Amino acid sequence: MAVALNRDRLVDAMETQAAIGGTEDDGLHRLALSDADKAARDWFVEQLRALDLPVRIDEFGNIFARRPGTDPDADPVLIGSHLDSQPNGGIYDGQLGVVAALELLRTLDDEGIETSHPIEIVNWTNEEGSRFQPGLQGSGVWCGEFDLQTEYDRTDRDGVRLGDELERIGYRGDAPAEPTEAYEAYFELHIEQGPYLDESGNDVGVVTGVVGLSWGEVTFTGEANHAGSTPMSMRYDASVPAAELLSYVRRLPGQVGDRTVGTVGSIDVEPDSINIIPESATVTWDIRDPADDVVDHAIDRLSAEAEAAARREGVDCEVEETARTESAKFADRCVETVQRVADEFGYESMRLLSGGNHDASHVNEVCDAAMVFAVSEDGKSHTSEEYTSWEDCYRAANTVANAALATASPTTD
Amino acid sequence: MAVALNRDRLVDAMETQAAIGGTEDDGLHRLALSDADKAARDWFVEQLRALDLPVRIDEFGNIFARRPGTDPDADPVLIGSHLDSQPNGGIYDGQLGVVAALELLRTLDDEGIETSHPIEIVNWTNEEGSRFQPGLQGSGVWCGEFDLQTEYDRTDRDGVRLGDELERIGYRGDAPAEPTEAYEAYFELHIEQGPYLDESGNDVGVVTGVVGLSWGEVTFTGEANHAGSTPMSMRYDASVPAAELLSYVRRLPGQVGDRTVGTVGSIDVEPDSINIIPESATVTWDIRDPADDVVDHAIDRLSAEAEAAARREGVDCEVEETARTESAKFADRCVETVQRVADEFGYESMRLLSGGNHDASHVNEVCDAAMVFAVSEDGKSHTSEEYTSWEDCYRAANTVANAALATASPTTD
């Protein structure tokens, strides 16, 4: 028994949330726990209260609301995503996932549909990780991957403490930041942030898992010296092996796996002056692959290259992995439910792995989970150029909503 | 007729100036037109007034004082350097050149020596170019290479205008910032800022010229995208050609000339985030060679490599030369005078080209010029680790002072 969401109301809710922290170029600047994030949370809570749902805010600011089911023994089905954004990001990202979940609850009320399992909506705190690191923070705390106190103590660039900001915006709640009972399943809608759906002409993506990820940095240390009067043979230029490592990361994926990606997003040299030979240089890495052993292998090769490049220039080198996420495989039954719903709606779909990390990776450790991806034009994301047509938003919202509904009412299926 | 400077007084003056803007690690932080620069200028002017010399401050803050000669038709001999420093630089750099010139004037007074030509001492404004670009500014304006009004309008990182700072510290003088008469010669003492003297065990350097210099930057522009979900084959990563160009600049000198040096001192990527493929990347270059056509050839090859690297990655590239200084060859008669003085003192010397640029490059366009280099331990400079022993300071000071004296009193020579 599938329900069709109200397309106009979905678009209207998307536009309303997009205006909270909206930018002049139609993007969204709604950093976690900022005033704009507070305003978006206030709006979200207001919508939930309008549905007569009790709102539960946990110690880490995650916002939940549960629509009761008819079976007192049935575990709740969780559905949601996040309302925060990157600096000058787009308006779809995870916001669409929260709005789709809200629209599901509204539609069930409209049509007087009861489910055997409760359906619980969630907005996770700080998915983006741009103001406070790490990202996926609310789901990480809730799933027990992160320590509550440690995450409270994170500070932003201005030294502002996360716990204090939660308090300031009024979203440090009383509910425990953990699952206090079993959950039946978790469904999350997010835009793809990659080009595969758009390129292949599909309507929605059935996400089967999330690739493994390694983040790290390599720091080379040589000797600063005058660029004019130091002979080439007497230099220990830290920027040289850094550049060679950066070039290597461009080639590395093609040496280790078909689905591997590798990126150096940041390179910094010191003292950073046109006529001084750099004393130190730091490059970051971001390596991902569906297979964790391929990620391991890539990091081994990257480390070997860093050391070889450092030796060639006669400088020191330190290699440090700063974050590691194992790949996640979503539960077959949840993936199959998403697939079936997409087929029933007649949506062209493809199965794919997520290259980006999502709250579902954490929740997948607590209960069965799956994700739906919406088409992301040209794969652009984290920029105001991010774009998903309203039709694609609607298709993806119908898919995730009905996957949750089908799981919450298995007997009516 | 050589005079021996007063070693103790020279060391004392060096220590006194080093305390003005001195840092905890015995370095010097005396940025051009800062309060510390004002204090050093005030001290310098006080020393000149103590010698009963009229002080002349020009419109660009260059400070002159002339000790009269006996021949009313003889052109003045100019001697000096600069008192400003790099951020957290060393205490010797050009400061030694100003103190040596001051010590010459004091010694001539002590010994009642008259010269046929006047001897004029100078402290040039903003040699370093670290707070306000470009460097060698005071000599550049005075020699007509730079436009006075343009240089007044330069701003520092805080947007403070140079002309306003000159006014604020009371060093925007009335004298025209140009040579209003012919000069006989210019002598300048500076530390080597390179390793050749130290390595070869020489006492002083006889500088025969300054290498040609090109500064520039290359900006690559690609497309920002998500590091996780963008396939390697769909990337236009601006950092990749930037890194390849950086590696190339390390090899380039060995391909074009025996004395060529090439440096990338700065590389910046945007948006500079660990999980975003860089949209833009900028690298600077600093290329030097004694022969201007070798510099030209190096820039041609660098530009070709930048364009090839950009093409390989499918990104755009803009190459811009931001500064160019032709190589300078000092006048044989001045170089020979320096050499003869060094020989007479029994100092071990070697002839060398300056890899760094100096005020003498500009003044060389106005009158005959030459430079003396002091030994710079391990070639370190622009750092608090910069070190020249007092004995080496004294030898170099004696050399430059007596070269000026010999030029100012040719008949007594």
- What pLDDT, in 10s, does the model give residues A254-276? 999 999 999 999 999 998 989 89
**Closest partner CB to A265 (pick from B196, B211, B273):** B273
Q: Is A131 on the interface with B (CB under 8 A)?
A: no
Q: How confident is the model at residue B413 (pLDDT cuts 50, 70, 90)?
A: very low
Among A248, A274, A352, the strongest candidate for a mutation testing the B interface, having the largest count of B CBs within 10 A, is: A274
How are the residues of chain B apportioned to helix, strand and coil, as percentages rounded to the nearest 5?
Answer: 35, 25, 40
Inform me whether the pLDDT recorded for A277 exceeds 60: yes
- Contact (CB<8Å) A232/B262: yes
Closest CA to A136 of B275, B205, B225: B275
Q: How far apart are CA A299 and CA A279, in angstroms?
A: 25
Among A239, A256, A283, A294, the strongest candidate for a mutation testing the B interface, having the largest count of B CBs within 10 A, is: A239
pLDDT, residue A325, reads 86
Query: What are the tens digits of pLDDT across the range A380-391?
Result: 888 899 999 999
Q: Is B276 on the interface with A (CB under 8 A)?
A: yes
Q: How confident is the model at residue B130 (pLDDT cuts 50, 70, 90)?
A: confident
At B175, give phi and psi (nearest 5°). Answer: -65, 145
Q: Is A214 on the interface with B (CB under 8 A)?
A: no
Q: What is the four-CA torsion angle of B40, B42, B44, B50, rounded to 10 degrees?
A: -150
B207 backbone φψ class: left, alpha, beta (φ>0; ψ -120 to 50): beta
At B151, give phi and psi (nearest 5°). Answer: -70, -35
Higher pLDDT, B261 or B226: B261
**Kind of pairing, strands B225-226 and B276-277?**
antiparallel
Q: How far apart are CA B387 and CA B8, in angstroms?
A: 18
pLDDT, residue A412, reads 45
Closest CA to B191 of B28, B2, B331: B28
pLDDT, residue B306, reads 98
Inform me whether the pLDDT recorded for A229 exceeds 90: no
Q: What are the domain boundaries of chain A?
A: 7-211+327-412, 212-325
Residues of A in contact with B254 (CB under 8 A): 232
Q: What is the DSSP letter of B412?
A: G
Q: Quick check: helix, strand or coil at residue A225?
A: strand
Higher pLDDT, A229 or A118: A118
Closest CA to B321 of B391, B410, B217: B217
Query: What are the tens digits of pLDDT across the range B275-313?
Result: 889 999 999 999 999 999 999 999 999 999 999 999 999
- Contact (CB<8Å) A265/B243: no
pLDDT above 90: percentage of residues in chain A: 90
- Contact (CB<8Å) B267/A243: yes
Q: Is A272 on the interface with B (CB under 8 A)?
A: yes
Closest CA to B315 of B265, B278, B342: B278
Q: How far apart are CA A260 and CA A212, in angstroms?
A: 10
pLDDT, residue B213, reads 94
- Contact (CB<8Å) A253/B264: no
pLDDT, residue A347, reads 98
One-character DSSP codes across B200-223: HT-SEEEEEEE-EEEEEEEEEE--
We find that the CATH architecture of domain A7-211+327-412 is: 3-Layer(aba) Sandwich (3.40)
One-character DSSP codes across B139-194: HHHHTTSS-HHHHHT-B-TT--BHHHHHHHTT---SB-SS-SS--SEEEEEEE--S
Maximum alpha-carbon separation in chain B: 81
**Residue A155 · residue A102 · CB < 8 Å:** no
CATH topology of domain A212-325: Alpha-Beta Plaits (3.30.70)
Nearest chain A residue to B253 by CA distance is A232
- Contact (CB<8Å) B226/A379: yes
pLDDT, mean over chain B: 96
A61 backbone φψ class: left, alpha, beta (φ>0; ψ -120 to 50): left
> What's the gap between Cα B337 and its chain centre?
22
Inform me whether the pLDDT recorded for A237 exceeds 50: yes
Strands (E), A193-309: 204-210, 212-221, 225-226, 261-263, 267-270, 276-277, 280-289
Inform me whether the pLDDT recorded for A413 exceeds 80: no
**Closest partner CB to A277 (pick from B130, B246, B263):** B263
ipTM rounded to 2 decimals: 0.83
What residue spans of A233-291 are helical by DSSP H? Answer: 239-251, 253-256
Quick one: average pLDDT of B329-358? 96
pLDDT, mean over chain A: 96
Query: What are the tens digits of pLDDT across the range B193-237?
Result: 989 999 999 999 999 999 999 999 999 999 998 899 899 999 999
Q: Is B226 on the interface with A (CB under 8 A)?
A: yes
Count Cβ neighbours within 10 Å for each residue of B267-299 and write b for 16 or more, e otherwise.
bbbebbbbbbbbbbbbbbbbbbbbebebbbbbb
Residues within 8 A of B (CB atoms), A 190-209 only: 192-196
B274 backbone φψ class: left, alpha, beta (φ>0; ψ -120 to 50): alpha
pLDDT, residue A251, reads 97
Residues 6 or more apart whose Cβ sits within 8 Å of residue A50 = none
Inform me whether the pLDDT recorded for B411 exceeds 70: no
E strand or H helix that includes residue A353:
strand A349-354
Inform me whether the pLDDT recorded for B412 exceeds 50: no
Q: Is B229 on the interface with A (CB under 8 A)?
A: yes
Query: What are the tens digits of pLDDT across the range B377-394?
Result: 998 888 899 999 999 999
- Contact (CB<8Å) A266/B273: yes
**Closest partner CB to B232 (pick from A239, A253, A357):** A253
Inform me whether the pLDDT recorded for A411 exceeds 90: no
Quick one: average pLDDT of B171-200? 96
Distances (CA, A) of B411 to B187, B206, B342: 19, 23, 19
Nearest chain A residue to B247 by CA distance is A240
Size of interface A-B (CB pairs under 8 A): 188
CATH number belonging to domain B212-322:
3.30.70.360
